[in-house]
Amino acid sequence: MANPFSLEGKVALVTGANTGIGQGIAIALAAAGADIAAAGRSEPTETQKAVEALGRKFLSIKADFGSIEPVQRVVDETVAAFGKVDILVNNAGIIRRADSIEFSEADWDAVMDTNLKVVFFLTQAFAKQALKQGGGKVINIASLLSFQGGIRVPSYTAAKSGLAGLTKILANEWATKGINVNAIAPGYFDTNNTEALRADQDRNAAILARIPAGRWGRPEDIGGAAVFLASSAADYVQGITLPVDGGWLAR
């Protein structure tokens, strides 16, 4: 019997794969057999080395996802290099922190554009290609703030809540067309986005006290969920937002 979790022969496009969660996902997908196209502002040198060490092909695409400008080009370059694209991981994102009473329009727009608007249009461009190929898998990287409110991150909470809804509507529209759309909601992970929280002694202690696993997540903790949702094992899974949070939401 074929391994339902195998990604042999698949091509995955991962945004923001140079560090953190995106890097962890790209390496996990490669370990399961996928070739990787990594798109983002920073050169993903470490990710490339890890993927190629696993015997997989790697393509680096320079792209700033602050606007929709690179969206079609990123898909086109992936297809030009590999002949197709089977998996899209929408991981690239930004965060801005300030009290809501003082939050600026510029910070609101920057986060909403990167974390929601560009994600939609990149997914749309991917889906047009996937339909030609007979299907594909979309994995959106949501957040615990797709379920909760958080504090001092109003645009981030709005965007990630919107992303959970977007995951559902696209699943509704595309499920019969062979495209699976799901999301992963990482808990508190040791990444660049959480550096300010980990540096705040009180906030760090409060967060750790609520996580049943007793530690911050590591990028490699997210890989198994991504492989599952990208694989044929998840062919009948549609529209979910899967928490990978050390038990945070269960507390």
pLDDT tens over the chain, length 251 residues: 689 999 999 999 999 999 999 999 999 999 999 999 999 999 999 999 999 999 999 999 999 999 999 999 999 999 999 999 999 999 999 999 999 999 999 999 999 999 999 999 999 999 999 999 999 999 999 999 999 999 999 999 999 999 999 999 999 999 999 999 999 999 999 988 788 889 999 999 999 999 999 999 998 999 999 999 999 999 999 999 999 999 999 99
Contact 251, 212 (CB under 8 A): yes
Question: 3-class SS at 86?
Answer: coil
Beta strands in 47-135 (DSSP E): 58-62, 87-90
Domains of the chain: 11-250 (3.40.50.720)
**Which amino acid is it at 116?**
L
pLDDT score of 156: 97
Kindly compute the dihedral angle of the four CA atoms of residues 116, 177, 36, 240, in this order, to the nearest 10 degrees.
Answer: 50
Q: Give every CB contact of residue 167 below 8 A, 6+ residues apart in sequence.
A: 140, 142, 181, 182, 183, 239, 240, 241
Contacts of the segment 190-199: beta carbons below 8 A, 24+ positions apart = 190/216, 190/217, 190/218, 190/219, 191/19, 191/20, 191/21, 191/219, 192/19, 192/20, 193/20, 193/93, 193/94, 193/95, 196/97
The pTM of the full predicted model, rounded to 2 decimals, is: 0.96
The residue from 65, 82, 120, 156 that is catalytic is 156
Beta strands in the chain (DSSP E): 11-15, 35-40, 58-62, 87-90, 136-141, 179-186, 241-244
pLDDT score of 1: 63
Tally Cβ neighbours within 10 Å of residue 101.
Answer: 6
For the chain, report the end-to-end CA distance as a whole number of angstroms.
39
Q: For this structure, is 188 an active site residue?
A: no
d(CA 90, CA 185): 12
pLDDT score of 18: 96
Radius of gyration of the chain (CA): 17
